[in-house]
Amino acid sequence: MPLTRYNKRSGKLVAELSADFQPRYEPNFAWGNTVSAIMALPGLRGFWPCSSVYHTAADRLLDVSGNGNHLTATAKAGDIRFGFFDYSLVSWAWLAAANNQAFQRADGGAANWADITGTEAYITAARGITIGGWFRLSTIGSAQVLMSKWGVTAPLADQRSYELSVTAGNNVQFSISSAGTAATVNTATSTTEISANTWFFAVGSHFAGVRTYITLNDETVEDAYAANIFDSAAPFEVGIWDNRDVGGSGAWLNGRCSMMFLCAESIDTSKLQTLFDATRAMYGIRL
C-alpha cells in the first residue's frame, strides 16, 4: 500500500503543500505557466493579466485571449499605476477609488462578447459563466466592485447581468440577475472575510438552471440556482459598476487587480481549486 503523507498543522497532503517549499523561480511558478493555465480555461472570452497595456493616453488593459476585448481606463486622474514582476512575481493594475479609476468596455449590442446568458449553443454541457482573478484591496469595510456587467441607475436602470464584489462586511459576493431587476438577483457570498493589503483569489460562477457559487481562495460556497442570465446593456467593467452614470454611488475598487478572466462556461470547482493552488505561491498565499 502506498504511503500517504499529511502535514500535521494544516491537514493537507504533503504533495499539495510542496509548492510552499520550492523556490519561486522554479518552472512551476513561472508567470508564463500561470498564463497558460488560464488560457486553457473552457469558454474563455477575455483574459487580462495586467501585464499587457497600451502606453498611450488611453491606458487600455489588453485582452490576451485573442478575442480583442481590451478594456479602457475610465479616468486618468492621478494616473493608473501598473506593476510588473515585483517581489511577488506578478503583474497588476493599481486603481485609486478617490480618482474614480476603473476599466471598461461598452456593451456591443445583443449577444455581444460579454452578453453571456448561460445557454450558449456552442457549449455542449456545463453551460454558464465564470468571472474572477486575483485582487488586493488597499482599504476594506465598504462595498467595492471587482468585475461587473451591472447597471442600476439611469440610464442603465434594471440592466443587471452579473457582478463580483466585496461587501461592506468584507465578504466576497457573486450576483446574477435573470431579468435585470433587483427582485431577480441570485447571490452567493463567502463565509470567510478578506483582509486589507492581502492578495486573494475570487471567482464567481453560475451553472444555468442549476447553481450559483463563489470560490474564495480554498473555500467554495454554493447558493440556490437561478434562471438564465439577463442580457443587459450595461458595459463590462473592472473596479466599478454602472460607471456610465459618472458621479453615481460607485463602489469603486481601491487596490490592485491581476490575472482576471471571463468564461462563457461554468468552471467546475475542482478546476478552480487547482488554478488557485497553482498560482497562490506567486501571490504570497501559504496554507
Residue 27 pLDDT: 41
pLDDT of residue 110: 74
pLDDT for the residue numbered 145:
95
CA distances from 174 to 88, 138, 187, 263, 276 (A): 27, 20, 6, 15, 18
What are the tens digits of pLDDT across the range 57-80?
A: 557 888 999 999 999 888 765 566
13-35 average pLDDT score: 57
Q: Quick one: what percent of the chain has pLDDT higher than 90?
A: 45
Q: What local confidence, expressed as pLDDT, does residue 76 receive?
A: 60
One-letter amino acid at 83 equals G
| Chain CA centroid to CA 204, Å | 7
- pLDDT of 191: 94
Q: Where are the domains of the chain?
A: 31-283
Is residue 17 helix, strand or coil? helix
Residue-wise pLDDT tens digits, 101-114: 889 999 987 778 99
Sign of CA dihedral 247, 253, 256, 258: negative
**What is the predicted pLDDT for the residue at 19?**
56
For residue 139, give every residue at least 6 positions away whose Cβ sits within 8 Å of its Cβ, in sequence order, or none.
97, 196, 254, 255
How open is the CA angle 202-171-225, to the nearest 5 degrees? 70
* pLDDT averaged over every residue in the chain: 82
Q: Give the whole-angstrom CA distance, residue 283 versus residue 223.
A: 28
Give the separation between CA 180 and CA 74, rounded to whole angstroms. Answer: 24
In whole angstroms, give the CA distance from residue 22 to residue 1.
27
Q: Which fold has domain 31-283?
A: Jelly Rolls (2.60.120)
What tens digit of pLDDT does each residue of 114-133 get?
Answer: 999 988 777 666 589 999 99
Rounded distance between C-alpha atoms, residue 278 and residue 266, angstroms: 19
Higher pLDDT, 251 or 164: 164
Query: If residue 32 lies in a helix (H) or strand (E), which one and from where to where?
Result: helix 31-39
